[in-house]
Amino acid sequence: MSSHLEESIFGDADRLDSHGRFQRRRRPRRGPRWRGLLALLVALGFVAGAAYGSVRFVRPVYDRITAPKDYPGPGTGVVTVTVHAGDAGATIAAALVRADVVRTAGAFTDAEAADPKAAQSIQPGVYRLRLKMKAGEALLALTDPKNRTVAGVTVREGLWASEIYPILAKASGLPVADYLKAAKSPDVGLPASAKGNIEGYLFPDTYQFPKKSTAAQQLAIMVKAAVTHLRKAGATDANMERTLIIASIVEAEARRDGDRPKVARVILNRLSKSGPPPYGYLQLDSTVSYGVKKRAITTTDRERGDTNPWNTYVRPGLPAGPISNPGEKSIDAALHPAAGPWLFFVAVNPVTGETKFAVTQAEHDAYVQQFQSWCQAHKGKC
């Protein structure tokens, strides 16, 4: 009876001990177990989120690394790509990638490395190609003249305007007379400082002139390119003509790019003071040659005595106007000459363009003797 009473009053949880005192039984604590489970679930959530983020951001990188460099070819559709004069393989590759002709630049440069002869035969022009071509097939397409939609006309650095007109005429089919007339037209857009003289403003480049364009329109495109490059290099309206004259002399005198800023410095050093040579007078054969319109490395006493406005032997300062049509590097050199005390320079090897710079007359005379020795060893070259 007492046993039953104990269970009915106190339940199974409590008991009386042998001395008649209550003895509470321990119950399992359930709270901490649930909190641990919740923490575990939260941690698993973080891990899952991190895994998702890793896949989301790492997967594109992995895909790019493992993606094929080249399209399988042969390609579809038609797209045009322009190759400019002097474009390197990397430049052409970038243009092909932008047009989606090849998948990666690396695929095209690899194709060039495998076939350097083909790579060297690519000519400036506008090419009709396919989209998504195999790089090797794109390279071969660029070597095929049939894929050039419009043959570009290339005007190289250092030419006179009178030498450029026949080049343009041959490409366009227009008579040279049209260019001579157009050069005097205000439609070509010469800056006011040029005073109507187009010499120097026919910027050297490879041009794709619109079909049926007039001589004036073509010259206007070239003039605009020259002015654009002058301003890009830092020329202002106030110093543009002077800059172009110096750049034209640099173009005529320097064969090597590293010498261009030094030639510009010699010009400025000589013009820094008035007086007898080496100050005040440039005494450059290139200006004499332009004045008498005869291409030559050296000039005669009679030519150096001619009183034309471009002869810097008889006239102090800069010549009356540009003596060639300079390119970008010569323009940049004119505006950013090298630092140095040189007052003289001479090309001791006209073929390679090796040029020696001097501060004193005696040093210059020694270099002139080297040039004369070269001329004696190469009859008919000077």
| pLDDT for 146 | 86
Write the DSSP assignment of 21-65 as a string of letters.
Answer: -EEEPPPPP-HHHHHHHHHHHHHHHHHHHHHHHHHHHHHHHHHHH
CA distance 307 to 291: 9
Residue 121 three-state SS: coil
pLDDT at 8: 37
Q: What distance in Å separates the CA atoms of residue 262 and residue 255, rounded to the nearest whole number?
A: 12
Please give the pLDDT value at position 34: 56
Please report the domains of the chain, with CATH numbers, ordered by start residue. 76-151 (3.30.1490.480), 153-233 (no CATH), 252-377 (no CATH)
Find out whether 69 and 103 touch, Cβ atoms under 8 Å: yes
Looking at residue 56, its pLDDT comes to 55
Alpha-carbon distance of 121 to 148, in angstroms, equals 13
Residue type at 136?
A: G
Each residue's pLDDT, cut to its tens digit, for the chain (382 residues) gives 444 433 433 344 445 455 555 455 554 455 455 566 666 666 565 655 555 554 455 454 444 454 579 999 899 999 999 887 678 899 999 999 999 999 999 999 999 999 988 888 898 778 899 999 999 999 999 999 888 776 678 899 999 999 999 999 999 999 999 999 999 999 999 999 999 999 999 999 988 888 789 999 999 999 999 999 999 999 999 999 999 999 999 999 999 999 999 999 999 999 999 888 899 999 999 999 999 999 999 999 999 999 999 999 999 999 999 999 999 999 999 999 999 999 999 999 999 999 999 999 999 999 999 999 999 999 988 9
**SS3 of the chain: helix, strand, coil, percent, to 5:** 50, 10, 40
Residue 246's closest CA among 263, 234, 258? 263
Which pLDDT score, from 0 to 100, does residue 274 have? Answer: 86
H/E segment holding residue 181: helix 176-182
Query: Residue 151 pairs with which residues in a beta bridge?
Result: 125
Q: Model-level pTM? A: 0.65
Inter-residue contact 124 to 83 (CB < 8 Å): yes
For position 211, what pLDDT does the model report? 78
